[in-house]
Amino acid sequence: MKKEIWLFISSFGIMFAVFSWLQESNIIGSAQNLGPIKGLYALITGGLLYLFFRKSA
């Protein structure tokens, strides 16, 4: 169970970093435009990343 939580938190962190990089590259809106929505997007896409790449035990 701890491994599953760690993998989900890691996937969220990866996607948050990707969205931050996209903001720095001016590909998506700035922090003033997105606000807390960036965290929600990272949570959703991180969940998809987790589901796509996790291995069944």
Angle, CA of 51, 38 and 47, to the nearest 5°: 10
The residue range of the domain holding 26 is 2-53
pLDDT tens digits, 9-31: 999 999 999 999 999 888 887 76
In the chain, the number of structural domains is 1
Here the tokens at position 46 are 């991180």
Which CA distances in Å does 20 have to 1, 2, 11, 16, 23? 29, 27, 14, 6, 5
Distance CA 7, CA 43 (A): 13
Amino acid at 43: L
Statement: the pTM of the whole predicted model exceeds 0.75: yes
Confidence tier at 57 by pLDDT (50, 70, 90): very low
